[in-house]
C-alpha cells in the first residue's frame, strides 16, 4: 500500500476561481465543428478525427474521449425519426417492398452520416464544458494519462 497524503487541502477564494464554461455554447460550437472554447478554430482535421489543438486559442483536444457515444446518439436520433415514419407510411399506404427498401435504407444511411460529425463535436464540447477526461485545469493526482 502506498502512503496516504495527509496534508489537508486549504480552499481559498483563489483556488475556487475557475474559468466559467457555458455548456450550451460549447456544445453548439462543437456541433458546428468549431472549438468549444473560442468558437473560431476548427475542431476536426478529417471527417471524425479531431485536431490536436485549436489554431486560434491553442486548446488541446487530445484528452477528449468521445468513444462510441456519438454513434449511439445518432442511432437514437435517426431511429426516432425513421421508425415512426416507416410505421405511419406502412399503415396508411400500400407500397411495394422494393420501393420501401429503396427509400428507407438510403435515407437512414445518409441521415446517420450527416449527423455523426456534428454529434461528435457536441460530445467533445460537452466534455470540455464539464471538465471531463483531461479538460480540467488541475487533473487529479495518481491517475495516469490514457
CB 27 within 8 A of CB 132: no
CB 14 within 8 A of CB 137: no
pLDDT of 8 over the 70 cut: no
For 48-76, write each residue's pLDDT tens digit. Answer: 999 999 999 988 988 888 889 999 999 99
Please give the mean pLDDT across all residues of the chain. Answer: 85
Amino acid at each position: 500500500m502506498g502512503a496516504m497524503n495527509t496534508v489537508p487541502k486549504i480552499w481559498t477564494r483563489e483556488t475556487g476561481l475557475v474559468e466559467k464554461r457555458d455548456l450550451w455554447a460549447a456544445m453548439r460550437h462543437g456541433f458546428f465543428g468549431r472549438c468549444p472554447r473560442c468558437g473560431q478554430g476548427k475542431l476536426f482535421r478529417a471527417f471524425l478525427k479531431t485536431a490536436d489543438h485549436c489554431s486560434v486559442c491553442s486548446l488541446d483536444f487530445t484528452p477528449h474521449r468521445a468513444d462510441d457515444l456519438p454513434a449511439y446518439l445518432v442511432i437514437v436520433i435517426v431511429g426516432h425519426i425513421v421508425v415512426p415514419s416507416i410505421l405511419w407510411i406502412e399503415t396508411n399506404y400500400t407500397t411495394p417492398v422494393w420501393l420501401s427498401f429503396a427509400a428507407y435504407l438510403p435515407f437512414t444511411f445518409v441521415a446517420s452520416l450527416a449527423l455523426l460529425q456534428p454529434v461528435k463535436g457536441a460530445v467533445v464540447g460537452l466534455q470540455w464544458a464539464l471538465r471531463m477526461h483531461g479538460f480540467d485545469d488541475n487533473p487529479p493526482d495518481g491517475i495516469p494519462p490514457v
